């Protein structure tokens, strides 16, 4: 997903204003962290992402959105680090565990790391034995899938 710099600047202002009204909003901190991620502002990204998790440590969708953003941005080392942290912190969340492994596996595939891709693929199959069959079925029907 591509953003214009002005879109990011506006998003930053909007989410900062939201935090003035709702300083303890996990969602506002999360959205601001995502904005900073796309702006390349790593220190503010880390601060607001951490604050979002501190305010709502059980919100698995925060992790999912960030992992998705890192995958789309091609920031694979950060994705792997967050995936490892996520799997240790909230291993009971099936959806997040599954999504983390899928993004991690396909990032490794894009990096041509076949051994690590195979390891993650086996973990995915442990969680959902039909995943790769479903993925092929989705592709055949024209539904976009991660490659």
CATH number of the domain enclosing 35: 1.25.40.10
- In 3D space, the residue among 37, 111, 44 whose CA is nearest the CA of residue 67 turns out to be 37
For residue 137, the model assigns a pLDDT of: 63
In a domain, 137, yes or no: yes
- 15 shares a domain with 52: yes
For residue 24, the model assigns a pLDDT of: 95
In a domain, 63, yes or no: no
- 82 shares a domain with 38: no
The DSSP output letter for 1 is -
8 A C-beta contact, residue 132 and residue 96: no
Of the two residues 130 and 112, the one the predictor is more confident about is 112
pLDDT band of residue 100 (cuts 50, 70, 90) is confident
- How far the first Cα of the chain sits from its last, in Å, is 16
For residue 16, the model assigns a pLDDT of: 95
Of the two residues 120 and 94, the one the predictor is more confident about is 120
Give the Cα separation of 35 and 41 in Å (integer).
9
In a domain, 66, yes or no: no
Over residues 50-66, mean pLDDT: 80
Structure-token pair, residue 84: 């490892």
Domain count, the chain: 2
Model confidence, pTM = 0.58
The DSSP output letter for 50 is H
Q: What is the CA radius of gyration of the chain?
A: 17
In a domain, 65, yes or no: no
Of the two residues 27 and 137, the one the predictor is more confident about is 27
Domain boundaries, position 134: 76-147
Give the Cα separation of 33 and 87 in Å (integer).
20
8 A C-beta contact, residue 63 and residue 92: no
In a domain, 35, yes or no: yes
């Amino acid at each position: 997903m591509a953003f214009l710099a002005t879109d990011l600047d506006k998003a930053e202002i909007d989410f900062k204003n939201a935090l003035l009204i709702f300083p303890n909003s996990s969602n506002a901190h999360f959205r601001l962290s995502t904005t900073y991620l796309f702006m390349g502002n790593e220190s503010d990204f880390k601060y607001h992402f951490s604050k979002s998790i501190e305010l709502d440590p059980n919100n698995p969708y925060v992790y999912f959105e960030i992992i998705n953003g890192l995958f789309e941005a091609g920031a694979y080392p950060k994705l792997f680090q967050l995936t490892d942290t996520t799997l240790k912190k909230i291993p009971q969340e099936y959806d997040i565990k599954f999504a983390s492994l899928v993004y991690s596996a396909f990032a490794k595939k894009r990096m041509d790391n076949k051994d690590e891709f195979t390891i993650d693929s086996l973990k995915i199959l442990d969680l959902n034995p039909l995943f790769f069959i479903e993925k092929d079925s989705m592709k055949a029907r024209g539904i976009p899938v991660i490659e």
